[in-house]
A = this chain, B = another copy of it.
Amino acid sequence: MIASEIEACQYGDEQRKGRAVSDTNSSKRPTIYDLAELVGTSPTAVSSVLNGSWKKRRISQKLADRVLKAAQEHGYTVNIQASVLRRDRSNIVGMILPKYDNRFFGAMAEQFETRAREAGLFPVITCTQRDPALELQAAREMLSYQVDYLICTGATDPDQITDLCRAAGVKTLNLDLPGTKAPSILSDNFTAARDLTRVILDACERDFGGGAPLMFIGGRSDDHNTRERRHGFLEAHKERGISVPDHLMITNGYAPEKARETLLKMADVPNGIFVNSTITLEGVVFWLRSLAPERAAQIRYGSFDWDPFGALLPQNVGMVRQDVSALLDLTFRTMKDGTEGNTMQLVPCQLEMPTV
């Protein structure tokens, strides 16, 4: 449509104060009022054409076309702030995530975004550095954004967040680590840990003879997943009648440096090591590098969580790969159901073995 075709303006320049016609060409973003003026119609008509409710509102195809064309030409984008402010639902889904520094959380973030978009929702992710204070701040921020739903991934204190959100009328879901006040979706840590432990025990038995307990390293003793994995670890030992002394169960955090220092200080590290995260594994392999080659060759380990390069390191005998797709399938299903309250769903993991 060219300028001369514009119909008689029903909306004068002074309709909205301070908004002169020349503003239309300025660097400010065009609004539905600008488009209405350009096309010669009402802001309501423009809004309904642009948000898809125009058929319901009996706007003619002809007017719709003209509005769409003008919107296209002027690079119109809706102001979400204004839109959400008026509507009762924002269609924004939030996710809080501890870190972006490993494949598991990275995949969670990417797939969450993809799925949210597919469902016509706007994803907003923020990472909280495993810091409870930041988690709470992030949750508040998400509420400020008027999220319709909040997914708390690997949160250290999910119940606190659930309470905060419930007070604001926002439902939450706990992913990867469970809470007691909202639905929780997590991997079957016990089974996967038991199976991984079996694999490491098998490798040690094959290469060095059996009977010796493995070492468990990484994680926090107050963390549900660590507890489950310790449980699976001990179960696999019990099956073979091997008892594990306390000093081999080390859960002093996920940080690589902690693991490395612990191993360096330790008098005799067992041949087999169960590493509770890829982040901890970084510390373990760093320690390994500091050993004499013949000593390093006497080590076998496996880790919870998968990494493509970690999987190729020589002494690695297996990695637990969490099923991100399945976790997110369940998450979105639960979100759509609107399920609330303390439920828990477990998703099986895959065990990735060396390909050689």
Listed in ascending order, the chain A residues whose CB lies under 8 Å from chain B are 26-29, 75, 77-82, 84-85, 90, 99-103, 105-107, 109-110, 113-114, 122-127, 129, 140-141, 143-146, 164, 166-169, 278, 281-282, 285, 289, 307-310, 312-314, 355-356
Is there contact, CB below 8 Å, between B312 and A80? no
> Across the interface, which residues of B come within 8 angstroms of A85, CB to CB?
79, 81-82, 85
Question: How far is B113's CA from A109's CA once the two chains are assembled, in angstroms?
Answer: 15
Is there contact, CB below 8 Å, between B28 and A169? yes
Known: A75-B168, A309-B309, A314-B314. A145 touches B81 (CB 8 A): yes
Is there contact, CB below 8 Å, between B289 and A356? yes
Contact partner of A77 (CB less than 8 A), chosen from B27, B126, B144, is B144
Contact partner of A129 (CB less than 8 A), chosen from B110, B129, B168, B314, is B110
> Across the interface, which residues of B come within 8 angstroms of A168, CB to CB?
27-29, 75, 77
Is there contact, CB below 8 Å, between B109 and A127? yes
Nearest residue (CB) in B for A106 is B100
Question: How far is B333's CA from A332's CA once the two chains are assembled, in angstroms?
Answer: 39
Instruction: Give 7 A-B contacts (CB < 8 Å), ordered by A residue.
Output: A29-B167, A77-B144, A79-B146, A100-B106, A113-B127, A289-B312, A313-B313
Is there contact, CB below 8 Å, between A110 and B101? yes
Chain multiplicity (copies)? 2
Contact partner of A167 (CB less than 8 A), chosen from B27, B107, B114, B307, is B27
Is there contact, CB below 8 Å, between B80 and A144? yes
Nearest residue (CB) in B for A108 is B100
In order of increasing CB-CB distance, the 9 nearest A-B pairs are A309-B309, A27-B169, A100-B106, A80-B144, A309-B310, A81-B81, A29-B168, A81-B85, A75-B167
Is there contact, CB below 8 Å, between B146 and A81? yes
Is there contact, CB below 8 Å, between B107 and A122? no
Is there contact, CB below 8 Å, between B79 and A144? yes
> Across the interface, which residues of B come within 8 angstroms of A164, CB to CB?
75
Question: How far is B173's CA from A122's CA once the two chains are assembled, in angstroms?
Answer: 23
Is there contact, CB below 8 Å, between A145 and B289? no
A319, chain B: closest CB distance, angstroms? 11
Question: How far is B101's CA from A247's CA once the two chains are assembled, in angstroms?
Answer: 35
Is there contact, CB below 8 Å, between B77 and A143? yes
Question: How far is B81's CA from A114's CA once the two chains are assembled, in angstroms?
Answer: 24
Is there contact, CB below 8 Å, between B355 and A289? yes
A26, chain B: closest CB distance, angstroms? 8
> Across the interface, which residues of B come within 8 angstroms of A75, CB to CB?
164, 167-168
Nearest residue (CB) in B for A355 is B289
Is there contact, CB below 8 Å, between A166 and B27? yes
The listed residue with most B CB atoms (<10 A of its CB), out of A75, A114, A308, is: A308
Given contacts A27-B168, A75-B164, A77-B168, could you give 16 more A-B pairs where the C-beta distance is less than 8 Å?
A: A27-B166, A27-B167, A27-B169, A29-B143, A29-B169, A79-B144, A80-B144, A81-B81, A81-B85, A99-B110, A100-B106, A101-B106, A124-B124, A282-B309, A285-B309, A309-B309
A75, chain B: closest CB distance, angstroms? 5
> Across the interface, which residues of B come within 8 angstroms of A307, CB to CB?
309
Question: How far is B342's CA from A55's CA once the two chains are assembled, in angstroms?
Answer: 45
Nearest residue (CB) in B for A126 is B113
> Across the interface, which residues of B come within 8 angstroms of A101, CB to CB?
103, 106-107, 110
